[in-house]
Structure 1
Amino acid sequence: MDLLAQPGVTHDVRRAETSRLFAEAAVLSGRRRDQCLDEVVVLNTGVACAVARRYRGRGIADEDLQQVACLALVRAVRRFDAGHDRDFLAFAVPTMSGEIKRYFRDHGWMVRPPRRVQELRARALALRSSTREDELPLGDHDLAARLEVGVEDLREALGASGCFSPDSLDRTTGDQPHLEMADPGSEGAMDSLEARVTLGPLLRVLDERERVIVQLVYAEGWLQREVAEHLDITQAQVSRLLVRILTKMRERAGLDLTPAAA
């Protein structure tokens, strides 16, 4: 526990100690296992605070952001499978970011469009994504006719994309989203991150509807049942789509991107 009390623990030391604690917890049970996992939480609390600081000044109190991030850290520690050869922060940081974005969606200033707009937008994106590569893209009038809706209603739905995820919640490289792993032990850590997993190149292999699903699940932290309701399909269909999406992405990234199922 002396290590955990030392300020300014470096990324390498934190990573090594976290791996040691997970390995120790794997062969323990009961209270002793829980104690090891609690030490992992304490050791990485600074990371949670650094992730929370990334979203300051956007209408949610700093204390609330830190609480959300820390609770997500606890859940990440309990869910992490140390049997995989991967860094814990590569799993925990996207989990914490997703929970904070979910909190903004539910409690912050972001306004979700009406249900009818969400449903129309999902139908329009799905129809556009089904167009063959050798066909011309559907214009607004053709798309509206196929959906049997007015052109203005269609444009309202397509223009509502900004309501789902405000640009100010994400820092991006170019036009592509990314996940960041922070080392809060160094000055200006959130501006000079030690590791970055860039998803942009992977998204190019997906069609438009698949990219929408990735946006909802991984950028905004939606559960599969929420995506199913939003797209007006079953949760089983969402699961099958995610399997197809993850198969494409894993071939190039080698990441565990499995989302929460419930």
Structure 2
Amino acid sequence: MARPKPWEVDDELWEVIAPLLPKIQRRVLHPGRKRHPDRLVFQGILFVLHTGIVWEHLPQELGFGSGMTCWRRLAEWTGAGVWPRLHEVLLARLRSANALDFSRTVVDGPRSCAKRGPKTGRSPVDRGRAGSKHHLITDATGIPLAATLTGGNRNDVTQLVPLLQAVPSVRGKRGRPRRRPDAVLGDRGYDHDKYRRLVWDLGVKPMIARRGTAHGSGLGAQRWVVERAFAHLHWFRRLRIRWEIRDDIHEAFLILGCTLICWRRLKSLR
């Protein structure tokens, strides 16, 4: 049996996605051209995410529709808030399967190249070239819980609290949804007493390495999971370099990448 392509959507995944998509009713008068099937368009979006190809070069013979059709549908679904809801659904399924570990979370924020657009900035560590940063928070096993996008000139520590606040309320078990972890781990880039106090105010214990101290804090033995998550996330070629002028479209790709990592983790549990 031939191995399925990474952008192909199986029936099980589509059953999760389809109810979240907005329903568009055709007009009775002057209905216009029939809308291209959502499933094929979604596969076209995944094709762009995986390969990094420009929208205009999307292969027509694969049946995805035109690149502009896929881009417009991506913008439409992004405006409808589809991707955060899809991420929440998959996180709830992971928690229901006892695959989420909220005993600690891990944060990091490496740089991603960018050409232009909102949420870019001149990176002080890359000869002043324009760039954006992907900030990520994972659970103790490396499952992405939330991601944010900022300019390359933003300090990582400024996103510590926004990342914690961006973690959704995760259902999947009886009782109240889980949102706050017990602790958050960060490298020396997050060392600031002001932000430690803000994290404590959220009811989370900050475990952050101190600047100016010798290496060997032991946090690296637990922090490596976020580095692995970034490796998985940047395996999607469209996320390695930010080509989108619109920041919401790039953020859509970023959250969609997180959801695909969650889906793969779910499938690996079976």
TM-score (norm 2): 0.22
Larger helix proportion, structure 1 or 2? 1
User: Which structure carries more relative contact order (alpha carbon 8 Å, separation 6+)?
Assistant: 2
Q: Which has the higher strand share?
A: 2
